[in-house]
DNA sequence: ACTCCTTGGATAGTTATACTGTCTTCGACG
DNA sequence: CGTCGAAGACAGTATAACTATCCAAGGAGT
């Protein structure tokens, strides 16, 4: 199919497709002649994936590039997932004062959760530390590990559930896609559900509460 | 204190403070004379709150404005929380074809969860529908309610936990702040923890898996 | 009283991200 | 055999969130 058909089938404008091609997010089509390139279902699929990640997951184009590069990772599927996790994680902000402590706290949280398969140099160790650091400077929440425990437990269940539910018939890139889409989509869904649940549950405690 | 001191104490540059003042995110200081305005701890605190929401929660300035407006809501604390939830929620994207169905599905999910205190016109009903719609167009995930059930359960626990943990000694705005910071910070923490947990748990299943 | 510094206030400029539009050439298809 | 659309290069736009400049004037230190 030509680029215009690819555009119609995916709803992505032609200029945007060209942009993604330039950025290397979309593989080149089959160049039959210098003036005619043939795109196929893999392009339709990839474009769909890119749009879900951008629209639902707010993954920046930079992150998509990292993800595309990560898909090339050799080794086990576990290795692949680890590299993809780093690609999907935001780049940690520069450390401020107190990062050493929060990094230690982050490591402690991970160790306490029993997540001993997490690489020492996982980007998310720093991301966790950075969040703790930023929140720490805002007095209200002293953030001790105990307060975070329920979230660790949730994350653990979530991850187990998602890993267990992956379709075993797929190839490595298929698994990667399913993992990524699940992570990104359900993050969004969970955030929304949580706000909804909070609205509901606040009724119990605060429906009559008129305090100043 | 003067604006320069406010800046030093919070780490927020003076021009940014001016910007927030213009946008109405920060209340005006006490204007002693036309050339001297006095800021106090409330400003320090508010600025800290704004920075946490922006840096950790990626809340857009537009959302911060809605939140500031929401804080004026009269009525019960429950009403206040509901309005704030809408302020914090992203504005739902324009409905595409199929939105009617996904909206019905969203309503069904909420009803099935037993969240009968959620307003009919909560913005998040549409957000949930919009997400389902976008994902629906990406073939892989047919998204039936059963698949979402675990997430509903998680959201429910999370919300109960957070509502229950709010400090009862605070005034309405204090409660609101605690709720918002908790929501935003723990959303970020949970996302990071989930990626970490997934890296750990993928080991069990995929450490040996070399598939193509 | 005299500088010199800083503030408040207005307005304009900057950076980053993610597209979107225009232009040109030229081959493909009817 | 003429015109329509594709490819490719490159420039332009939109938005968000700041950031910088300018100016007049009040205040602080001497």
pLDDT at A68: 97
Beta-bridge partners for A33: A36
Phi-psi category of A27—alpha, beta or left, where left has phi over 0 and alpha has psi -120 to 50?
beta
pLDDT digit string (tens) for B17-67? Answer: 999 999 999 999 999 998 899 999 999 999 999 999 999 999 999 999 999
* Residue in chain B lying closest to A172 (CA): B212
Confidence label for A143 from pLDDT (cuts 50, 70 and 90): low
**If you average pLDDT over residues A151-155, what whole number do you get?**
96
pLDDT single digits (tens) A104-137: 999 999 999 999 999 999 999 999 999 999 998 7
Of A94, A84, A82, A47, which Cα lies nearest the Cα of A63? Answer: A84
Q: Do B124 and A196 touch (CB under 8 A)?
A: yes
Distance from CA of A33 to the nearest CA of B (A): 31
Residue B67 CA, nucleotide D22 C1', distance (Å): 33
Delineate the domains of chain A, giving CATH numbers in brackets.
3-90+145-206 (1.10.1660), 91-144 (no CATH)
CA distances from A184 to A49, A64, B198 (A): 11, 12, 13
Residues 6+ apart with CB under 8 A from B48: A137, A138, A139, B10
Q: Would you say residue B85 has pLDDT above 80?
A: yes
Q: Using an 8 Å CB-CB cutoff, list chain B residues near A207.
A: 76, 78
Phi, psi of B30 (to 5 degrees): -85, 110
E-only strand ranges, A10-132: 30-33, 36-38
Q: What percent of chain A has pLDDT over 70?
A: 98
pTM score of the predicted model: 0.95
CA dihedral B90, B96, B99, B102 (to 10 degrees): -70
Q: Is the CB of A200 under 7 A from strand D?
A: no
C1’ C11 / CA B80, Å:
37
Is A198 close to B150, i.e. CB distance below 8 A?
Answer: no
pLDDT at residue A146 in the model: 82
Beta pairing class for A36-38 and A30-33: antiparallel
Which DSSP symbol is given to A37?
Answer: E
User: What's the longest Cα–Cα distance across chain A?
Assistant: 74
Contacts of A204 (CB under 8 A, 6+ apart): B163
pLDDT band at A138 (very low <50, low <70, confident <90, very high): confident
Query: pLDDT band at residue B69, thresholds of 50, 70 and 90?
Result: very high
Q: How far apart are CA A62 and CA B169, in angstroms?
A: 45
- Nearest nucleotide by C1' from A39 CA? D6
Nucleotides of C under 7 A from a protein CB: 6-11, 17-22, 26-29
User: Is the pLDDT score of A142 beyond 60?
Assistant: no
Find, among A135, A198, A35, A158, the residue nearest to B195 by Cα. Answer: A158
Measured to protein CB atoms, the chain D nucleotides within 7 Å are: 5-10, 16-21, 25-27
Which residue among B117, B164, B209 places its CB closest to the CB of A76?
Answer: B209
Strand-pair partners of B31: B37
Confidence band, pLDDT 50/70/90 cuts, at residue A69: very high
**Cβ-based contacts of A194 with chain B (< 8 Å):** 155, 158-159, 183, 187
Looking at beta carbons, which pairs linking B63-70 to residues 24 or more positions away fall under 8 Å? B63/B87, B63/B88, B63/B90, B64/B25, B65/B23, B65/B24, B65/B25, B67/B180, B68/B24, B68/B25, B70/B176
What is the average pLDDT score of chain A? 95
Q: Are A67 and A199 in contact (CB under 8 A)?
A: no
Residue B93 pLDDT level (bands cut at 50, 70, 90): very high
CA–C1' nearest nucleotide, residue B19: D18
B44 touches strand D (CB under 7 A): no
């Amino acid at each position: 199919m030509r680029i215009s058909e690819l555009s119609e089938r995916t709803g992505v404008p032609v200029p945007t497709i060209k942009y993604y091609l330039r950025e290397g997010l979309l593989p080149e089509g089959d160049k039959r002649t210098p003036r005619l390139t043939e795109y196929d279902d893999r392009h339709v699929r990839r474009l769909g994936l890119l749009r879900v990640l951008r629209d639902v997951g707010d993954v920046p184009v930079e992150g998509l590039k990292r993800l595309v590069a990560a898909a090339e990772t050799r080794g086990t599927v576990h290795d692949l997932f680890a590299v993809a996790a780093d690609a999907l994680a935001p780049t940690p902000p520069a450390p401020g004062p107190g990062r050493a402590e929060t990094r230690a706290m982050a490591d402690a949280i991970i160790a306490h959760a029993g997540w001993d398969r997490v690489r020492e140099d996982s980007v998310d160790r720093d991301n966790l530390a950075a969040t703790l650091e930023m929140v720490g400077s805002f007095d209200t929440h002293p953030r001790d590990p105990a307060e975070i425990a329920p979230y660790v437990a949730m994350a653990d269940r979530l991850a187990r559930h998602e890993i267990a539910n992956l379709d075993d018939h797929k190839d490595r890139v298929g698994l990667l896609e399913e993992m990524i889409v699940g992570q990104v989509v359900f993050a969004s869904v969970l955030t929304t559900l949580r706000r909804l649940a909070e609205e509901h549950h606040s009724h119990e405690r605060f429906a009559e509460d008129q305090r100043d």
